[in-house]
């Protein structure tokens, strides 16, 4: 393995990598190679935290869009 690969393996994955993996998983487009790498190099607690935050943001976004549509649909 390369020197960079060894240092990344010791440090775990970066936050950006975790966010990308969670986003890809939410959309169902994550490759099996990336999925395998996540399980081997990532920490479960990081994925759980990012997944919960992403889910909360998704729900709040949907709620906001629904509120906007309901306001715009009401007669003046």
Q: Which two tokens stand for residue 5?
A: 């690969």
Taking Cα atoms as reference points, which of 67, 66, 57 lies closest to residue 26? Answer: 57
* pTM for this entry: 0.72
- Tens digits of pLDDT across the chain (76 residues): 445 544 444 456 888 999 999 999 888 888 888 888 888 888 889 999 999 999 999 999 999 999 999 999 988 7
SS (H, E, C) the chain: CCHHHHHHHHHCCCHHHHHHHHHHHHHCCCCHHHHHHHHHHCCHHHHHHHHHHHHHHHHHHHHHHHHHHHHHHCCC
């Amino acid at each position: 393995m390369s020197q960079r690969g060894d240092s990344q393996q010791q440090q775990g994955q970066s936050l950006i990598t975790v966010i990308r993996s969670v986003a890809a998983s939410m959309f169902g487009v994550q490759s099996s190679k990336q999925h395998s790498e996540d399980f081997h190099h990532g920490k479960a607690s990081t994925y759980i935290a990012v997944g919960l935050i992403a889910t909360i943001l998704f729900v709040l976004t949907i709620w906001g869009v629904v509120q906007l549509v309901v306001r715009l649909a009401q007669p003046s």
